[in-house]
Amino acid sequence: MDRERENRRLYGRAQGHKLSARQQALVDEMLPGLDWPDEGPVDPAALLPGFTAHVLEIGFGASEHLIGQAARALETGFLGIEPFLNGVAKALTGIEAQGLKNVRVKRGDARDELERMPDAVFDQVYLLFPDPWPKSRHAKRRFVQPDTAGHLARVLKPGGRLRVATDVRVYADWALPLLLDRPELDWTAERADDWRTNPADHIVTRYQSKHLGDIDPVFMDFRRAA
Ligand SMILES: C[S@@+](CC[C@H](N)C(=O)[O-])C[C@H]1O[C@@H](n2cnc3c(N)ncnc32)[C@H](O)[C@@H]1O
């Protein structure tokens, strides 16, 4: 493990209230069966073989968006990464309740997992309402940084899409230039409504509906150049 990774810290909670017995059983029994390796490369085509399209959601929280999108597109493979155990347990509950065969989840830090992923493997990556860390002295904690922006661009297939959403002004002002700086990424917005309204395919989560930020949500959609 390199020094950068050793120095990384996850801020925020890794677990909240105690899991129910059912959730604990899913974490103990179902999660290991989802076969996400702890070491070595993480290749979506190996994790979910037989799917031609793959989608990644980073920091899926209570998993409403991940599970909702996966239930809509059973022919697409979905990978989700979330450090918060209660969120992972909710995703497992959704996978089981809906009998989904097209979802794999990892309890972990998406920065580490992104580094383990090959180039050009995802058709879509979602980073929705990442923890905002609005104070400038906490800027280093924000998920979008020059290196993660590079990985987000790198793991997209040519023509693949990235969606970053936030309802915090400083986060939008911080993330947009870092993403625009990536030569591989084209911002697809043509008019203000393209970033100021929920995209047609979006699923609103409980977190988003709480309106904790200081602006209406903005959706920054990018396409990786072919
Ligand atoms: C504000 S919540 C939003 C949750 C969800 N995306 C939604 O829109 O409802 C941010 C989420 O990002 C997760 N998170 C924070 N740092 C992360 C990291 N390094 N890798 C993956 N997820 C992370 C948090 O645990 C939390 O669940």
Instruction: Name the residue of 60, 67, 112, 218 to mutate for ligand 1: max ligand atoms within 8 A of Cβ.
Output: 60
Q: Could you give the domains of the chain?
A: 44-224 (3.40.50.150)
Half-sphere exposure of 186 toward its Cβ, with a 13 Å CA cutoff?
A: 9
Decide if 219 contacts 199 (C-beta within 8 A): yes
Ligand 1: does its nearest atom lie under 6 Å from the Cβ of 128? yes
Q: State the pLDDT at residue 4.
A: 57
Tell how far the Cα of 60 is from the centroid of ligand 1, in angstroms: 6
Stretches in the chain below the pLDDT threshold 50: 1
User: Which of 4, 13, 84 to probe ligand 1 with, by most ligand atoms within 8 A of CB?
Assistant: 84
Q: What does the pLDDT read at residue 194? A: 87
For ligand 1, is residue 126 a contact (CB within 6 Å)? Answer: no
Q: In this structure, what token pair is assigned to residue 46? A: 């190996």
User: Looking at ligand 1, which atom is closest to the CA of residue 57?
Assistant: 6
State the Cα–Cα distance between residues 225 and 154, nearest whole angstrom. 11
CA 61 – ligand 1 centroid, Å: 5
Structure-derived torsion over alpha carbons of residues 184, 188, 192, 197, reported in degrees to the nearest 10:
-110
Write down the pLDDT at residue 7.
Answer: 66
Distance from residue 143's CA to the centre of ligand 1 (Å): 9
77: left (phi over 0), alpha (psi -120 to 50) or beta: beta
Does residue 131's CB lie within 6 angstroms of at least one atom of ligand 1? yes
Please indicate whether residue 110, judged by its CB atom, sits closer than 6 Å to ligand 1: yes
Distance of CA 224 from the midpoint of ligand 1 (Å): 23
